[in-house]
């Protein structure tokens, strides 16, 4: 059974463990799919150090509503939500599922929870962003299966 509970700071070690495990297969493909100077600029000390620091900062951020998914009594994933009332929009800012719990409905449960949270706040639209590289293909598939429609955006970089 899936339970989604408010985040508490004693869960941070679980959050960071899931972060490492969930993104470990993503970043090697990202590194191959984007220009090397871009990757090296974003991750000069390696992807793991940057990802853990970013997630830890996010979980200390008061602007983000943070949630933890428990599946069969174990921490299985997490969710960070943000509000954009000026656009009547809720944002899934971050979502991660422990690889040991993927394909068990945890991600779908977190996304459905996010939609309910947004509807309760009167938002008219949900937003999520992810990469277009091979490593993020599973995330794109999850969002599309949840009904998200792809928005065309182009982001350009130039080495100086």
In CATH, what number is assigned to the domain containing residue 85? Answer: 3.40.630.30
Looking at the domain assignment, is residue 159 inside a domain? no
How many domains does the chain fold into? 1
CA distances from 89 to 14, 64, 74, 148 (A): 29, 14, 31, 13
Q: What per-residue confidence (pLDDT) applies to 131?
A: 94
Q: Are 23 and 47 in contact (CB under 8 A)?
A: yes
Q: Does the predicted TM-score (pTM) go above 0.75?
A: yes
Q: What is the pLDDT of residues 67-111, one digit of tens each?
A: 999 998 999 999 999 999 999 999 999 999 999 999 899 999 999
- Domain that includes residue 124, residue range: 2-145
């Amino acid at each position: 059974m899936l339970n989604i509970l408010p985040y508490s700071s004693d869960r941070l070690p679980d959050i960071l463990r899931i972060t490492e495990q969930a993104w470990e297969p993503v970043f090697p493909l990202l590194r191959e799919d984007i220009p090397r100077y871009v990757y090296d600029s974003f991750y000069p000390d390696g992807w793991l150090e940057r990802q853990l620091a970013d997630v830890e900062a996010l979980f200390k951020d008061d602007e983000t509503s943070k949630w933890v998914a428990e599946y069969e009594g174990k921490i299985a994933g997490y969710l960070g939500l943000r509000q954009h009332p000026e656009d009547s929009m809720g944002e899934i800012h971050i979502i991660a599922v422990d690889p040991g719990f993927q394909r068990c409905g945890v991600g779908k449960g977190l996304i459905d929870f996010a939609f309910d949270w947004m509807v309760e706040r009167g938002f008219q639209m949900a937003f999520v962003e992810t990469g277009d590289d091979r490593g993020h293909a599973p995330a794109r598939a999850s969002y599309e299966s949840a009904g998200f429609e792809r928005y065309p955006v182009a982001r350009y970089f130039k080495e100086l």
